Amino acid sequence: MGIESNELASGAAACYLCGTTGARVLANRCRSNTPLRTVICPKCGLVWSDPLPHNPRDFYEDDYRVSYKGTYSPKPKHILRAGNVALSRHEKIRRLLANKMRVLDVGSGGGEFAYLLKTLGHDVQGIEPNRGYADYSIREYGLNVRVGFVQDVALPEKNLGLITIWHVLEHTENPFNVLLKLHELLQPEGMLVIEVPNIEATCQSPRSTFHEAHLFNFNLATLRKMTEKAGFAFSELSLSPDGGNITIMVQKKSAAHPEPLDLEIPGNAQKIIGIVRNHTPLHHYLTAPPYARLLRRIRQSLAEKRSAGSFSRGKALLDRLYSTLGHPSRGGQ
């Protein structure tokens, strides 16, 4: 894996979380086995790709060219999969939902999660950089989605009650600035839900730990600290059963910067270095999770093919899937 934790990463940027210089090299290759220098801040444990392996915008531009040939439409089995993911996301955040909330879903993709919330009667907006996905979600589900990157999009409406950002923050070129922007869009005491991959995860193959599209890698401590720095108070967290994803819920504090925050996270860098170092291919394939994971994926794919087969429209499919949610906000409210 080429982990040289003591090697100083020459020319690396100052830490995006605590501002310290002197990042160390954590890895030199990514999952496609191409060179990618991943560094870690010795003071707080934030992990990032340095230098940035590509212009983050290009990644989506390419995606855009591939998927947007005239009119883009996802396959029913993909809508079903994304619909099931949306249901599990709803399960995670349902405690935060009040009646008819103003919600923003950042990186709304094909619109499945935003449509779920719309179905429940909420006032939902989306932002999505991929024009093909965004247009599909507008056309198929009648969603209010803006095409673009959250960093750039000017939203006229502020005072949002809830913002969700699922698997987007790790792709942005400055996640702290994104958090500041989201803070601005929320009403006082509004909630923000963030989900990112967990750098401490060992459920994936060690070769997949570093991904060229993931410019930043968090563990719970660094994610939490970054939200605190941006003016949020920690509320709760959940880890996916396999430990692969961190979901945290934070609340916008009424006062912007009440007291100076200590940005050092003692022991965090050493902890992460230890986990990455011990996650070797031999260790990984001697344990059961990879096989269980593979089996689960095969079963899921077969089930999706069976149940998605009879639907030609995404809306009909999701309406059926979401019908079990009930419609508490409907009917004269």
CA distance between the termini of the chain: 57
CA atoms of 32 and 53, how far apart (whole Å): 13
Pick between residue 15 and residue 117 the one whose CB is nearest to Zn ion.
Answer: 15
Pick between residue 18 and residue 82 the one whose CB is nearest to Zn ion.
Answer: 18
| Chosen residue from 26, 44, 117, 127 binding Zn ion by CB under 5 A | 44
**15 sits near Zn ion (criterion: CB under 5 A):** yes
- Interacting stretch for Zn ion, rule CB under 5 A, among 14-22, 55-63, 139-147, 194-202? 14-22
Pick between residue 41 and residue 230 the one whose CB is nearest to Zn ion.
Answer: 41
CA atoms of 106 and 148, how far apart (whole Å): 10
- How many residues make contact with Zn ion (CB under 5 A)? 8
Pick between residue 21 and residue 301 the one whose CB is nearest to Zn ion.
Answer: 21
Residue 15 C-beta: closest distance to Zn ion, Å: 3
Residue 231 C-beta: closest distance to Zn ion, Å: 18
Site for Zn ion in 17-36 (CB under 5 A): 17-18, 20
**199 sits near Zn ion (criterion: CB under 5 A):** no
**41 sits near Zn ion (criterion: CB under 5 A):** yes
**230 sits near Zn ion (criterion: CB under 5 A):** no
**226 sits near Zn ion (criterion: CB under 5 A):** no
Give the per-residue SS3 of 11-68: CCCCCCCCCCCCCEEEEEECCCCCEEEEEECCCCCCEEECCCCCCHHHHHHHHHHHHC
Kindly give, in sequence order, each residue whose CB lies less than 8 Å from that of residue 333, ignoring residues fewer than 6 positions away: 99, 100, 121
Beta strand 232-239 with 216-217 is unpaired
Kindly give, in sequence order, each residue whose CB lies less than 8 Å from that of residue 34, ignoring residues fewer than 6 positions away: 212
Residues engaged in binding Zn ion (CB under 5 A): 15, 17-18, 20, 41, 43-44, 46
